[in-house]
Structure 1
Amino acid sequence: MIHSTTSDRRRAAVLAAGCALLTVLATAHPAGARVPGAEAAAGVRQWTTDARTTGAQLGAPAAVTPASAPADTTVYVEPDLRFQKLTGFGASITDSSAAVLHRLGKKDRDALMKQLFSPREGNGFSMLRQPLGASDFATSQYSFDDMPPGRTDFGLTHFSVAHDRAQILPLIRQAKALNPRLRIIASPWSPPGWMKTNGSMIDGKLIDDPKIYDVYARYLVKSVQAYAAAGVPVDYLTVQNEPQALLRADYPGTDLPVAQQAKVIEKLGPALKAAGLRTKILGFDHNWAEHPFDVQAHVDAGEDPELAYPHDLLNSRAGKWIAGTAYHCYYGDPSAQTALKAAFPDKDVFETECSGGGITRTIGAMNNWSRSMIFWNLALDEKHGPHTGGCTGCDGAVTVDSASGAVRYNTNYYTLSHFSRFTRPGSVRIAANVAAPEGDTTPLQTSAFGNPDGSTALIVHNPGAEARTTAIVAPGVRLTTEVAAGATVTYTWGRR
């Protein structure tokens, strides 16, 4: 006889919920079914973007224009079926972003920051992911405790966040003043070079020595303490950006296997607690699946690619100190998040880095338990920089022209807008199901949220090449409207 534990039942429920929901809704509301009752569109508003959207279209939501033709697709919103709470949406004030923003005059910079972070007058970004030390988007290579070659600093007597005081920390404080509910995730791209096998922040591994695990944990604690002292409390902390990146030739990075990350966290968890810090640890901080380039690099080095890294980490002794798992969107499928949530239902999931992923990956992340979507650089110049290496074609949420100071709002900005303008931290994802015509190869993509104030936000994206006449059905809402080809629409109703 098999006895199931409470944990087993929770895991099964997480996986079963999505499958059962789709089955029940598809049975109750088959594609092409007539929407019952009179049209109820009063109070429903929409905010639309497409490939032609420009900065001139940063307007308020408009009333929905009902369609006259019958619907070919129906979107059902079920607010009583609730999933994860949102922490927020945002980007990263990298060293490069800070440099670009500080090229603007104060008046123009203040206006742009308000447009990005103010919940009332702008996009309402509510999360930032901040590199601890240099990343590929930095104006120089630096950590918070650099030492000359051959020298160490186990006492961390040379530790300093002076580099960040000039531009980065003032911008984060300004963002937090504009949006007091702003949350910070901090991530190092590399420990200081003297803690690593090659003596460099670029590539290499953390030295496998208990003294190194201890000093690196203390280094991270001091980083959190220094930021807090500067008026920037750190809410979440990862110990290594992209720990499966074995070969990074021109920017900071560290190959950190599961066993080593676990050893760092076993030191870090108690150290944060002893310091009286409420900062939560997130594990992993890499893609939904390991990229074939990184898999091959590990195989070539005679190492295990560790394809189940986030599962193995949570199963380790360090798991008790880990509040959740951080993912990136660059490779794999977001369903990996649901599989992890099913295995560890008491652990959260966050999306901490995405660039160029667009609306499809954002909706995918949200529909697979993510509490956040954080795109990469907040701002870059017209040359996709400045940067020290890595991505040469990444866009920021905005582009600031280095000569004129003109601001261009990019796809990343508008993608986040569809969520951050119409949800608030503490919102809950609710069920949204698409009943599409048989044989539809590009069905609508949807995600929906219930706000604490009782309002609802439904995001609908049409990936197809033709407009879709769409019925939206929810408690108190029945309307038929058109979603243009390639367009994304956020529909809102209820109290605001």
Structure 2
Amino acid sequence: MLHAFASLLALISLCETAIIINPDGPLGRKFEGIGAISGGGATSKLLANYKQQQLNEILDYLFKPGYGASLTQLKVEIGGDSQSTEGTEASHMHTATDKDCTRGYESWLIQKAKEINPNIEIHGLPWAFPGWLGDNPYERPERTADYIVQWVKCMKGTFRVQVDYIGIWNEKPYSVDYIKVLRRALNKAGHKHVKIIVADGNWEIAKDIQKDAELREAIHAIGAHYPGTWSSNLAQSLNLNLWASEDYSTYNDDVGSGCWARILNQNYVNGMMTSTIAWNLVASYFDKLPFPKCSLMTADEPWTGHYTVNGPVWVTAHTTQFTQPGWTYLKHGTGVGHFPDGGSYVSLVSPDKTQLTLVVETMVSESVTLSLVSTRCIPSYKAFASIQLNWNNTLRSRRQDTEIDIFLVTDEYII
């Protein structure tokens, strides 16, 4: 990852491949951030049992800006009193008349994340609904919409937290009528700012959006799960925000870290997705449960205080520590693309075009040489020093008049 100041026209060669980078040309889509999911379900169960010192360290590695993963989004399960993968999360309304905003630990985690980074964006998504809403929550859409609105009110009224995004129903069929009812209910309750993400499944809803102006107006983005870095042609043509609203779900070892790096870059290179959210945030559940350690980091031993800061944290940092939501991707072919022999690169510029970030991933085990030739900028070497990893790479530069050459030689399996 290279970070440079001032307008840049650069030539990069990777494995003898040349790419032009030009942030002064046409721009691509606006970057909306990287997040992770707590829930789906009970994935953060053990976290609150850590002693304060270790808990603070773990949360800093996840949420503190400029420190670890520096996540810009936190997505949580709206508990539904039903088993939803690793366990069950409690609903804020066991019955229609039983409302308790303090149930569960997601609100606690949201508060902690907000204390560390007040600008982090908060998502809510139900994986299940309590029984009183029936087997099909779409049969009485007004009642289900009010149930979701009550959760948004809980966050605002009890915890002083503004919810930014709401989903429909995790990996279940969607209802166009319900989405419209939910939009109206949020607006009526004074939550017009809460944006709806649909439909946390695949890209099929694009067909309905294409022919329904009210539906299009009701939503902020189409969010797909595990899209394999690709979105549909129709979804791309709608000029809507496209998200990987759940992705990754891979062991947090070296291989999983490489997969996460590929996902973060290629979700935009291939699919024009401007936000990617990992399942899951932290493996704070017992190792014998399904999908152990499929997380950015591991914290499953509160009784010893032990936790592990795994590679996906630092992979995330390569983007989040050197960009902000609101930066813009460069166009494909002038800063975004594939290398012929595998791997990809993305470039993003700040709104005032005074900063440029380039992120490269190769998914190869052998050493790689990357050279950057710039005629109009001086790179910031601090960008390399701020990532605390096994940084055994070689960095050298040569300056001739106004031209600066930078050569970076990476070792094997280096983030």
**TM > 0.5:** yes
Task: Give the secondary-structure state (helix, strand or coil) at the position aligned to 1:268.
Answer: helix
Partner residue of 2:325 out of 425, 429, 435: 425
Distance across 2 between alignment mates of 1:382 and 1:323: 32
Question: What's the counterpart of residue 164 of structure 2?
Answer: 235
TM-score by length of 2: 0.77
Question: What's the counterpart of residue 200 of structure 2?
Answer: 285
Question: What's the counterpart of residue 364 of structure 2?
Answer: 464
Task: Give the secondary-structure state (helix, strand or coil) at the position aligned to 1:96.
Answer: coil
User: Any residues of structure 2 matched to 1:305-454 within 5 Å, and which?
Assistant: 308-313=204-209, 315-316=211-212, 317-329=214-226, 332-336=227-231, 339-342=234-237, 344-345=238-239, 347-354=240-247, 355-356=249-250, 357-367=259-269, 368-381=271-284, 383-384=286-287, 391-402=290-301, 403-431=303-331, 432-433=335-336, 440=340, 442-452=341-351, 454=354
Task: Give the secondary-structure state (helix, strand or coil) at the position aligned to 1:215.
Answer: helix
Report how far residue 486 of structure 1 moved: 4.5
Measured on the aligned residues, the alpha-carbon RMSD in Å equals 3.0
- Count of residues in correspondence between the two structures: 359
Distance across 1 between alignment mates of 2:268 and 2:406: 25
Instruction: Determine which structure has the larger strand proportion and give its number.
Output: 2
Consecutive aligned runs of 4 or more in structure 1 exceeding 6 Å deviation: none
Report how far residue 241 of structure 1 moved: 0.9
Report how far residue 473 of structure 1 moved: 4.5
Report how far residue 474 of structure 1 moved: 5.4
Q: Classify 1:379/1:137 alpha carbon distance in 2 versus 1 (closer, same or farther; 3 Å).
A: farther
Report how far residue 79 of structure 1 moved: 1.2
Distance across 2 between alignment mates of 1:433 and 1:117: 27
Q: Classify 1:193/1:435 alpha carbon distance in 2 versus 1 (closer, same or farther; 3 Å).
A: closer
8 Å contact from structure 2 (residues 110, 122) kept in 1 = no
Question: What's the counterpart of residue 76 of structure 1?
Answer: 20
Report how far residue 466 of structure 1 moved: 3.1
Report how far residue 418 of structure 1 moved: 1.6
Partner residue of 2:188 out of 251, 254, 274: 274
Letter in 1 for 2:195: K
Q: Classify 1:219/1:434 alpha carbon distance in 2 versus 1 (closer, same or farther; 3 Å).
A: closer
Question: What's the counterpart of residue 177 of structure 2?
Answer: 263
Question: What's the counterpart of residue 65 of structure 2?
Answer: 119
Q: Classify 1:475/1:240 alpha carbon distance in 2 versus 1 (closer, same or farther; 3 Å).
A: farther
8 Å contact from structure 1 (residues 91, 377) kept in 2 = yes
Identity %: 21
Instruction: Determine which structure has the larger helix proportion and give its number.
Output: 1
Report how far residue 458 of structure 1 moved: 0.9
Question: What's the counterpart of residue 253 of structure 2?
Answer: none
Question: What's the counterpart of residue 97 of structure 2?
Answer: 157
Task: Give the secondary-structure state (helix, strand or coil) at the position aligned to 1:463.
Answer: coil
Distance across 1 between alignment mates of 2:187 and 2:374: 45
Question: What's the counterpart of residue 143 of structure 1?
Answer: 91
Distance across 2 between alignment mates of 1:188 and 1:459: 33
Question: What's the counterpart of residue 104 of structure 1?
Answer: 50
Distance across 2 between alignment mates of 1:88 and 1:97: 22
TM-score by length of 1: 0.65
Q: Classify 1:195/1:415 alpha carbon distance in 2 versus 1 (closer, same or farther; 3 Å).
A: same
Task: Give the secondary-structure state (helix, strand or coil) at the position aligned to 1:457.
Answer: strand
Q: Classify 1:70/1:323 alpha carbon distance in 2 versus 1 (closer, same or farther; 3 Å).
A: closer
Question: What's the counterpart of residue 247 of structure 1?
Answer: none
Letter in 1 for 2:216: G
Letter in 1 for 2:205: Y
Deviations 1:352-410 (A, max 9, x none): 2112252212212133332322111221147447x6xxx43352211114142212122
Letter in 1 for 2:45: A
8 Å contact from structure 1 (residues 283, 310) kept in 2 = no
Q: Which runs of 5+ in 1 are unaligned?
A: 1-41, 46-66, 148-155, 198-204, 244-255, 289-307, 489-496
